[in-house]
């Protein structure tokens, strides 16, 4: 085998699925700018996607949600049950079926939800890197109904002796929605602290993510509002386009300052403000994600005497952000996603 053949063998094989010819061409054109990616096929609907996955054996599928004949949700369900393959949901459908289906796809085994571009410049290198990283994630057979909501059975009882003067800050990115679901579904209804979350996600997607997480959590999950008082048992989600900060009196603030590491909201800004306002009463958590946002903020909490937790490599979809935090000595505890809730309770 010559070098050209060897290089082709190592390419990441991508199947692009979307009912719009224009969108398929845009996604294919962007991904094809990377020499390590090969577009091996395109499908107009879920039915074609299922056929091509079985025939072409792609390394990853970029899947639209709302399509004729068979939508992306049904296609994802079938593929993960019979031909397990990494799937990234690429969509802008936030109304009608799309609104209901986007996060249900994660229940069925899709790895991540990525905002669909309007123009080529909307995706760029970040989109390419996400596709490349997700293509390497091991996936397993994921039969429909295998993952059940266990809100009434999986909670951890909060000790009556625990105070209510602490706040938990969580930062997550790629792979974060499912990680957040697994953490929030185990927190008890009498959880004695407030939770502030920064999740890197496309603009307009956070409201649907909040609704999805509310279906799993005993706590109230809501979008953060300016000057809102942080209350125990409430989860405050940083809105897209604004940095969310924790102020000294336990109130939330929103800022329109420049992005940090390309993100607004920024995990570094949120966690650093939590460290400054709460000091040793702060608890910081950094989950799966690309890049290094949140690592410096987590270190600020540790330096202030607070407790810090990082997700381990084995259970992180993308071990970028937790790894940076661990390498800089910012994490007191390194835990699997299913152990992080226990670590939070111990920190309280």
Query: How close are the terminal C-alpha atoms of the chain, in Å?
Result: 59
Is residue 154 domain-resident? no
State whether the Cα torsion 50-52-53-54 is positive or negative.
positive
Res 139 pLDDT > 70 = yes
At residue 98, the pLDDT reads 52
Q: Give the integer Cα–Cα distance in Å for 106 and 88.
A: 9
For 2, 173, 188, 306, 339, the CA distances from 346, given in Å and listed in that order, are: 57, 24, 14, 13, 11
Catalytic site residue 157? no
Residue that terminates a domain, selected from 87, 113, 134: 134
* Confidence grade of residue 5 (pLDDT, cut at 50, 70, 90): low
Q: Give the integer Cα–Cα distance in Å for 82 and 311.
A: 30
Same domain membership, residue 336 and residue 283: yes
At residue 159, the pLDDT reads 43
Catalytic site residue 178? no
Same domain membership, residue 129 and residue 171: no
The encoded tokens of residue 208 equal: 């649907």
Domain extent at residue 222: 167-347
At residue 239, the pLDDT reads 94
Q: Give the integer Cα–Cα distance in Å for 18 and 158.
A: 46
Res 174 pLDDT > 60 = yes
Least confident of 3-17, 126-140, 180-194: 3-17
At residue 152, the pLDDT reads 40
220 within 8 A of 211, measured Cβ to Cβ: no
CA atoms within 13 A on the CB side of 71: 15
> Rounded mean pLDDT of 301-320?
96
Same domain membership, residue 179 and residue 130: no
Q: Give the integer Cα–Cα distance in Å for 92 and 201.
A: 12
Is residue 52 domain-resident? yes
Residue that terminates a domain, selected from 134, 156, 179: 134
At residue 153, the pLDDT reads 37
The single residue of 178, 268, 293, 312 carrying the catalytic annotation is 293
Q: Considering its fold, how many domains does the chain have in total?
A: 2
Is residue 247 domain-resident? yes
Q: What is the pLDDT of residues 203-254, one digit of tens each?
A: 778 888 899 999 999 999 999 999 999 999 999 999 999 999 999 889 999 9
Residue that terminates a domain, selected from 134, 158, 185: 134
**Helix/strand/coil for 307:** strand
Res 149 pLDDT > 80 = no
Q: Which CATH number characterizes residue 256's domain?
A: 3.40.50.180
Res 162 pLDDT > 70 = no
Same domain membership, residue 70 and residue 184: no
Same domain membership, residue 184 and residue 259: yes
Same domain membership, residue 118 and residue 44: yes
The encoded tokens of residue 268 equal: 């570094």
Is residue 5 domain-resident? no
CA atoms within 13 A on the CB side of 242: 16
Same domain membership, residue 334 and residue 237: yes
CA atoms within 13 A on the CB side of 202: 20
Same domain membership, residue 120 and residue 206: no
* Confidence grade of residue 104 (pLDDT, cut at 50, 70, 90): confident
The single residue of 105, 172, 173, 266 carrying the catalytic annotation is 173
pTM: 0.81
Is residue 221 domain-resident? yes
Same domain membership, residue 118 and residue 203: no
Least confident of 21-25, 115-119, 203-207, 332-336: 115-119
> Rounded mean pLDDT of 176-205?
92
Is residue 337 domain-resident? yes
The encoded tokens of residue 114 equal: 């990525």
Q: Which CATH number characterizes residue 106's domain?
A: 3.40.50.2300
Same domain membership, residue 312 and residue 258: yes
Catalytic site residue 268? no
* Confidence grade of residue 17 (pLDDT, cut at 50, 70, 90): very high
Is residue 157 domain-resident? no
The single residue of 18, 200, 263, 273 carrying the catalytic annotation is 200
Same domain membership, residue 97 and residue 197: no
At residue 145, the pLDDT reads 39
* Confidence grade of residue 2 (pLDDT, cut at 50, 70, 90): low
Is residue 43 domain-resident? yes
Same domain membership, residue 109 and residue 248: no
């Amino acid at each position: 085998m010559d070098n050209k053949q060897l290089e082709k063998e190592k390419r990441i094989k991508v199947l692009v699925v979307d009912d719009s010819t224009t969108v398929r061409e845009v996604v294919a054109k962007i991904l094809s700018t990377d020499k390590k990616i090969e577009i091996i096929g395109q499908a107009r609907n879920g039915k074609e996607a299922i056929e091509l996955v079985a025939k072409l054996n792609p390394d990853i599928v970029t899947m639209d949600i709302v399509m004729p004949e068979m939508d992306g949700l049904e296609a994802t369900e079938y593929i993960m049950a019979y031909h397990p393959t990494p799937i990234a949901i690429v969509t802008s459908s936030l109304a009608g079926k799309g609104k209901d289906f986007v996060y249900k796809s994660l229940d069925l085994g899709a790895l991540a939800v990525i905002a669909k571009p309007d123009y080529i410049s909307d995706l760029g290198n970040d989109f390419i890197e996400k596709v490349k990283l997700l293509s390497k994630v091991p996936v397993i057979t994921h039969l429909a109904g295998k993952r059940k909501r266990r809100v009434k059975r999986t909670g951890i009882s909060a000790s009556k002796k625990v105070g209510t003067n602490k706040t938990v800050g969580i930062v997550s990115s790629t792979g974060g929605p499912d990680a957040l679901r697994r953490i929030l579904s185990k927190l008890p209804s009498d959880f004695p602290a407030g939770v502030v979350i920064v999740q890197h996600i496309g603009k307009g997607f956070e409201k649907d993510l909040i609704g999805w997480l509310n279906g799993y959590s005993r706590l109230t999950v809501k979008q953060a509002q300016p000057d809102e008082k942080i209350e125990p048992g409430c989860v405050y989600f940083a809105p897209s386009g604004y940095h969310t900060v924790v102020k000294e009196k336990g109130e939330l603030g929103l800022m329109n300052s420049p992005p940090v590491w390309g993100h607004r909201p920024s995990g570094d800004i949120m966690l650093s403000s939590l460290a400054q306002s709460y000091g040793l009463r702060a608890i910081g958590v950094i989950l799966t994600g690309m890049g290094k946002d949140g690592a410096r903020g987590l270190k600020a909490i540790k330096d202030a005497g607070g407790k810090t937790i990082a997700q381990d490599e084995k259970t992180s979809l993308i071990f970028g952000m937790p790894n940076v935090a661990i390498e800089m000595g910012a994490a007191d505890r390194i835990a699997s996603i299913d152990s992080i809730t226990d670590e939070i309770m111990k920190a309280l």
